[in-house]
Amino acid sequence: MTLDAKIPEGPLEKKWSRYKDHAKLVNPANRKKLSIIIVGTGLAGASAAASMAEQGYQVQSFCFQDSARRAHSVAAQGGVNAAKNYHNDGDSVYRMFYDTLKGGDFRSREANVYRLAECSLNLIDQAVAQGVPFAREYGGYLSNRSFGGVQVSRTFYARGQTGQQLLLGAYQSLMRQVSLGKVHLYSRYEMLDLVLADGKAKGIIARNLDTGVLERFAADAVVIATGGFGKIYYLSTLAMGCNGSAIWRAHRRGALMASPSWTQIHPTCLPQSGSYQSKLTLMSESLRNDGRIWVPKLENETREPNLIPEQERDYYLERRYPSFGNLAPRDISSRAAKERIDAGFGVGPQKNAVYLDFSKAINEQGKDKITEKYGNLFSMYKKITADDAYQIPMKISPAAHFSMGGLWVDYELMTTIRGLFAIGEANFADHGANRLGANSLLQACVDGYFILPYTLANYLSGELKSAKVGIDSPVFEEAERDVRNRIDRLVHIKGSQTADFFHKELGKLLYDKCGLSRTAAGLQEAIDGIANLKSAFYRDLLIPGEAGDMNAELEKAGRVADYLEIASLMCFDALKRNESCGAHFREEYQTPDGEALRDDENFCYVSAWEWPGDDKEPILHPEHLEFEFIKLSVRSYS
């Protein structure tokens, strides 16, 4: 298999314009003859569904939540990036492009990243027109703040609710199309398989979660917008329902998975307080604009933070990375926190946290200004911990968050299956080996609003004369039979352990062996351990109830079954990449001062993996990255 990224010719700044100028179009009168399935109603899925329906296509939209607006995009707090340079502090499209490439440790495509930065200019105008209440300066101008990995202010925000407000804008656009009859919205449906005909994506098999009935849905193209698989670690910042099943089912049908080992551990989460927890709470990275991160200089410190004098505090990010300080990128900040915690300088009841201190910012700016910027985050922190962060420092800790890896897509956001597109966090496209903060909301919106409407139309223009594939065709019957067999296998195990038990065991194994740091020996232990856990899962899983009813335990079990497969590929990918880059930190490959050591000669590629069948070694198809417009350099933030 030869991977073709379909990157347009020409100068970097002209590639997207050149693509749009030469892309094939569908006559407005013909668009109503074409149907599209979009799985997921987060920012990527909702914006894509609204945009395609607005153009006149018939759209079927699916989500497993009871409402499209409950998609996990609401949980993104801190902001969305755009290179508008309102602060006149040196920002530009090119600088944002370079910051994003560097932030991802030079492991993403130049063309995709430049397009992300270029389209960011349009997104803010789009969101303001939808009524998104971005923060504004006294004179009425939109306000900006900084995020990790940059030295300019390019992050637009709505207090600590940016994801929610952006999603409400996309949601109202989606529901307008629902009311016009151009989008048929299926809530409480979960995609369980992809249907192919002549090698093209032509539909899905979905389960009605309220009735347990399997249903067939046909279309001329399928778009997966189901987010990432960070919940594979069990304890993560993601909602309990987040999962990787849609992308994994597509992978089994032939869509390559790209760089699954590139998973991000977020540096500013609330620390785990006990084994009873099922998720962790994210505190926005925006807090690092004004909060200073430190640990005591003494090991096993027992004094309250306010009683520890300044000279006995280690502001370790400011010490190690003076140019960026507390705004060092997420992967670097998380590893630095873990190093201090592991060395015995952690704080809190379990000594598993560091301090995030706002005393200096409050003294300089006043409590009212800090409340204006972060008030809801401080309120959330107090509600969860009973501590007042205006009076004493917050306690934060690294936690699993975002998956940079996902389905491999080309410049058009199409996977290796014709007619199957993946957008937002479901694909690997823009972030490389580490995602900069506030680029997640940006990618989701840009993919749905500005990129997919061109690239999907370019594909659909060739489908007008193709024969329609109905839900009664043999390919649908075969796909449904496969799904039913998988479900029956799970239901009839009748063991003694719940799906949550296996998920917890998997999460602990992954966090220890394929988390913030990895070793060859540890990864091999993880691969062996996952195989043993998978064997136990299919021997001792307990699912109460029946397959043909509402059954939340069956839903969990199907997702955990897929997580076991994804986890194995994650560890295999990490084991085969003998370098450190971004969030992938192999302890064998580091500089003398403990920083990631890339190997551009041997590993300057995206690792795209083919599924070979059950219990067989995955097949690597590397997409070698070529850098025409920037020079590869050592990633330094000091």
- How far is Cα 208 from Cα 548, in angstroms, rounded to an integer? 10
Tokens of 66: 């009871």
- How far is Cα 263 from Cα 334, in angstroms, rounded to an integer? 12
80, 82, 84, 87 alpha-carbon torsion, rounded to 10°: 50
Tokens of 394: 């917050």
HEC string of 423-475 equals CHHHECCCCCCCCCCCHHHHHHHHHHHHHHHHHHHHHHCCCCCCCCCCCCCHH
Judge residue 181's burial from the number of C-beta atoms within 10 Å of its C-beta, 0-12 exposed, 13-18 middle, 19 or more buried: exposed
Nearest to 511 by CA among 598, 606, 617, 401: 401
Contact 228, 425 (CB under 8 A): yes
Which of 31, 69, 292, 330 does the annotation list as catalytic? 330
**Is 330 a residue of the active site?**
yes
Contact 463, 61 (CB under 8 A): no
Q: 282 in the Ramachandran plot: left (φ > 0), alpha (ψ -120 to 50) or beta?
A: beta
Contact 578, 586 (CB under 8 A): yes
CB contact set of 563 (below 8 Å; sequence gap of 6+) = 229, 232, 243, 244, 503, 506
DSSP bridge pairs for 36: 59, 221
Nearest to 427 by CA among 436, 168, 560, 412: 412
- How far is Cα 328 from Cα 69, in angstroms, rounded to an integer? 32
**Active site (catalytic) residues:** 330
